Amino acid sequence: MSENPADDAAPVARPDLAAMVVPLGRALVAAELPVLRAHDLAMWAYAVLLRLDAEPMRSQAALAQAIGADKTRLIGILDDLAQRGLIRREPDPSDRRARLLSLTAEGHRVRTAVQSAIQEREERLLARLPEADRRGFLRALQALSALSAAELGG
């Protein structure tokens, strides 16, 4: 009758992954917001700086897809970043429909300052975990987030 505990009234061995991961993600985002606000950056703007620092992009559509954003919502973000001199945004000479996107030196500086502040906080949080769990957590997290959404769902 109780060979499989999940069939009985007893609580399951662990909460669902989503029930732990989603609230954790919300809390991590909430912890980032003050840092971003201090640099007057929206969350998506920060995502843009990170992506363009890793690699310049050939078009806004490519950038949108790379960071999982909608291309229409990116426009205001890019307007702001370009106006503040954090990114370059110029028509591709070989196809003037597309916009070549890259980070300026100032954009790189801001990106680095923000990420340092964010990861400093994160390290204080991770320091509360036992060393072995901490390493396993980070490795598993990087492995899982490298899988495509399709693989995670299958």
Report how far residue 39's alpha carbon sits from residue 44's, in angstroms, rounded to the nearest whole number: 13
Binding of residue 1 to a second copy (CB under 8 A) = no
- Contacts of DNA in 36-95 (CB under 7 A): 44, 59-62, 69-73, 75, 78-79, 95
Binding of residue 138 to a second copy (CB under 8 A) = yes
CA angle 33, 36, 60 (to 5 degrees): 110
Report in angstroms how near the CB of residue 58 gets to DNA at its nearest. 8
Number of H helices, E strands in the chain: 7, 2
Binding of residue 91 to a second copy (CB under 8 A) = no
Identify the residue whose tokens are 């606000």.
Answer: 37
The radius of gyration of the chain's CA atoms, rounded to the nearest angstrom, is 20
Binding of residue 18 to a second copy (CB under 8 A) = yes
Binding mask 93-122 for a second copy (x = CB under 8 A): ---------------x---x--xx-xx--x
Residue 57 — left, alpha, or beta (φ > 0 → left; ψ -120 to 50 → alpha)?
beta
Cβ-based nearer residue to a second copy, 94 or 127: 127
